[in-house]
Structure 1
């Protein structure tokens, strides 16, 4: 009798484990994006300081794979792209003041405007930092700042870091954005490394 109960319990736990694993696989990009945007899932972080809104969102490997695949659903190609993109961590950082791009807030001050343009276009590796609780710093691989010339309601930057296994075993990682001249002070997000390790996927 005890053996039967144990077997049933084991089966139930196995089913729950499989279901929990499946819950992070999505049929469409839209459903995956909805999941990513819920802050309690560990992929989307928000802060507002001095009327500046910061939104940091992780972009999982499969979103980048989907973007490059287009209509091609060749399994070998999917695996090849997953291996390529999975070497890195990709983040989108969105910043806005009064629902406008950051440059709009300093457009009347030539010195501040010029400094911010320079920081956004060329100096974000000096302004954004990712480090462990013990202060070990990850070097930024790349960042992309598409200048929108006032046509967007936020300043958006894609930031890329290496997916270093040594750092991914930490309980969390600190993502810090230094003050960009808007009197916000440094903005810090505590990233959930467990969520990054178990990132959601698309069912191709």
Structure 2
């Protein structure tokens, strides 16, 4: 009877260990499929006032793979993992009528200029990440590439420091202030467990 109890405990511990381990994928395509499934905690989307918002986390290994290209070198893999793992990277995509946000205000020169300025230089004032107790995580960087109407969405790469004390929280609030599109503030609740146990590539 005692052995059966021990075996049950061992089985439960093994299951907990397996479930807490990072998912591993052989290809970039498999990982992309996984992170685009909203149930896995890396992909969030909302539509408000006709504006589509998609926020997607970019795991460290996708950035490592981008650096390495086809030259897989174990030493370089570890070097780049340490470099990129200091931060959390997100892609924020916003569109209206399947077009870039700027297309919707192109006729109004003042509004167009204001939005270009905000997207290129002012997003640190518009993006906020904070804990349930209102502790704020400072934005490390953001990159807005101008697409000049050649894309069907406005995309921004957003970078935050990976601070373990914030990831111990049940979740993090990610807020995008209204960009003059009458959406109000747009909020996502980030799954911190998913961020801590991000998927990896089997290089």
**TM-score, reference length from structure 1:** 0.94
**1:80 equivalenced with 2:79 (yes/no):** yes
Mapping for residues 1-204 of structure 1, pairs under 5 Å: 2-13=1-12, 15-17=14-16, 19-20=18-19, 24-204=23-203
Structure 1 segments of 4 or more deviating over 6 A?
none
The whole-number CA distance in structure 1 between the counterparts of 2:55 and 2:26 is 24
Q: How far off is 1:138 after superposition?
A: 1.1
Q: Offset at 1:137?
A: 1.1
Structure 2: state its 5+ residue gaps: none
Cα distance change of structure 1 residues 147 and 167 upon mapping to structure 2, 3 Å threshold: same
Question: How far 1:76 sits from its partner (Å)?
Answer: 1.4
TM-score with structure 2 setting the length: 0.95
CA RMSD across the alignment: 1.5
CA distance in 1, matches of 2:90, 2:58: 6
Provide the rounded CA distance (Å) in 2 between the counterparts of 1:126 and 1:168.
Answer: 22
2: distance between equivalents of 1:144 and 1:186? Answer: 21
Q: Shift in Å at residue 79 of structure 1?
A: 0.8
What is the deviation of 1:20?
A: 3.4
Inter-partner Cα distance in structure 2 for 1:22 and 1:39: 19
